[in-house]
């Protein structure tokens, strides 16, 4: 059962990605990419990585894609004119992909409520995962936290230099 | 393993190539960043598949590091997109050829 679900989800993710990279409107591309990331999260779950699956939804689909949407709307990058053609051509494919993902999720929940029996071969429990992350890779966790801090400082600097120049009356 | 490792590699390879095509073909800076996201996710799926193949947790730990790296990369690069847009008024990659690269 898990094998069939894997192939369905793999084709769903590939279809969503193909739709994403061919859109002209960046907002539509981001919506398709969120679908692809939901499919990837279910694939992670099927491969025995429940924590990675949860973080894929929370971080990628929840945080990073919303950040993309914020930037697209802040810079007004989406084209204003509506292209011709019937409306269902625009929202039909994304609705179909979402329904497939919803059906797969419900199927997984009904067949395997505990979340462990659907993954026969390998299942990383939170305990095993936490020991590996914070004991064996503790130094790497510290380095990654420094990297996130530097990225925040760098993003702040890139945004701030332009404000300062404009406030002084120079600029442009 | 629920599926052979070769099929996981084929799937993530196809997804990686789609992301690469998006980076190379599109001229919108936002779409280039989306292509980078797709490539990083394909690599993450390969790592999770390898973790399931060898019954070790290390691959999944590296997916977590990959996610942290991606968050840092996205925050910096979107700040730079905002900066470049304010500077030249466009997000077309062809407009930023000042170094004649």
Closest residue to A52, CB basis, from B33, B63, B69: B63
pLDDT at residue B19 tops 60: yes
CA distance B18 to B22: 6
pLDDT of residue A121: 56
Query: Can you give the pLDDT at residue B11?
Result: 94
pLDDT given at position A131 = 87
- Among A20, A21, A35, most B C-beta atoms within 10 A, so best to mutate, is A21
Distance between CA B79 and CA B72 in Å, rounded? 11
Residues of chain A with pLDDT under 70: 81-85, 112-122, 161-172
**Rounded-to-integer distance, Cα B48 and Cα B57, Å:** 9
Q: What is the pLDDT of residue A164?
A: 58
CATH 3.40.30.10 for domain A2-124: no
Reported ipTM exceeds the 0.85 cut:
yes
Percentage of chain B surpassing pLDDT 70? 99
The band of B35, judged by pLDDT with boundaries at 50, 70 and 90, is: very high
Query: Above 50 in pLDDT, residue B24?
Result: yes
Token pair of B37 as six digits: 């996201």
3-state secondary structure A121-158: CCCCCHHHHHHHHHHHCHHHHHHHHHHHHHHHHHHHHH
**Chain B residues within an 8 Å CB radius of A55:** 64, 67
Q: State residue A76's pLDDT score.
A: 80
Of 3.20.20.70, 1.20.120.1770, 1.10.3720.10, 1.10.287.3510, which CATH number belongs to B5-89? 1.10.287.3510
Q: Where are the domains of chain A?
A: 2-124, 137-172
All residues of chain A having their beta carbon less than 8 Å from the beta carbon of residue B64 are 51-52, 55, 133
In sign, the C-alpha dihedral spanning A107, A109, A111, A115 is: positive
- Total residues found in chain A within this entry: 172
The whole-number pLDDT of residue A171 equals 45
d(CA A134, CA B64): 12
The predicted structure's pLDDT at residue B44: 94
pLDDT at position A170 is 47
> Encoding tokens for residue B24?
């190379």
Chain A residues near residue B91 by CB distance under 8 angstroms? 75, 77
CA dihedral B11, A125, B64, B52 (to 10 degrees): -30
Side-chain half-sphere CA neighbours of A14 within 13 A = 15
Q: What is the pLDDT of residue A128?
A: 83
Residue A159 CB neighbours (<10 A): 15
Q: Which among B63, B9, B7 has a CA at the least distance from the CA of A48?
A: B63
Instruction: Tell me the two tokens of residue A96.
Output: 């179909």
Residue A161: per-residue pLDDT: 62
| A12: nearest Cα among A84, A78, A91, A99 | A99
What local confidence, expressed as pLDDT, does residue A10 receive? 93
Max avg pLDDT among A118-127, A155-164, B10-19, B77-86: B10-19
Give the model's pLDDT for residue A79.
Answer: 75
Distances (CA, A) of B6 to A53, B11, B47, B93: 21, 9, 13, 36
- Of chain B, the end-to-end C-alpha distance in Å amounts to 46
Total beta-carbon pairs less than 8 A apart between chain A and chain B: 174
For the entire predicted model, the pTM comes to 0.86
Nearest-CA distance A80 → chain B (Å): 16
Cα A90 from chain centroid (whole Å):
21
CA distance A87 to chain B (A): 24
pLDDT at B46 over 70: yes
- Higher per-residue pLDDT: A115 or B19: B19
- String of b and e for A78-106 (b: at least 16 CB within 10 Å)? eeeeeeeeeeeeeeebbeebbebbeebbe
pLDDT at residue B92 greater than cutoff 90? no
Could you say which of B7, B35, B80 has the minimum Cβ distance to residue A158?
B80
Chain B CB contacts of A121 below 8 Å: 1-2, 52, 55
């Amino acid at each position: 059962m898990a094998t069939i679900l894997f192939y369905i989800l793999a084709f769903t993710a590939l279809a969503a990605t193909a739709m994403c990279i061919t859109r002209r409107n960046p907002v539509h591309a981001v919506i398709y990419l969120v679908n692809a990331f939901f499919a990837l999260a279910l694939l992670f779950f099927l491969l025995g990585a429940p924590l990675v699956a949860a973080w894929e939804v929370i971080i990628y689909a929840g945080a990073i894609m919303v950040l993309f949407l914020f930037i697209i709307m802040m810079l007004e990058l989406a084209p204003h004119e509506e292209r011709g053609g019937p409306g269902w051509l625009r929202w039909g494919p994304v609705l179909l992909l979402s329904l497939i993902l919803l059906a797969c999720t419900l199927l997984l929940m009904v067949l395997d409520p505990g979340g462990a029996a659907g993954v026969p071969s390998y299942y990383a429990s939170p305990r095993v995962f936490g020991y590996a992350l914070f004991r064996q890779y503790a130094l790497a966790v510290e380095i990654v936290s420094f990297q996130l801090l530097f990225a925040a400082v760098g993003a702040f600097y890139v945004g701030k230099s332009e404000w300062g120049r404009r406030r002084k009356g120079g600029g442009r | 393993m629920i599926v052979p490792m070769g099929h996981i590699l084929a799937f993530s390879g196809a997804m990686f190539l789609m992301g690469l095509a998006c980076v190379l073909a599109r001229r919108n800076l936002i779409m280039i960043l989306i292509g980078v996201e797709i490539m990083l996710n394909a690599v993450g799926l390969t790592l999770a598949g390898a973790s399931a193949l060898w019954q070790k947790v290390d691959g999944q730990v590296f997916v977590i590091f990959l996610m942290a790296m991606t968050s840092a990369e996205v925050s910096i690069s979107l700040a730079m997109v905002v900066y470049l847009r304010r500077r030249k008024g466009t997000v077309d990659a062809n407009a930023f050829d000042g170094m004649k690269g």
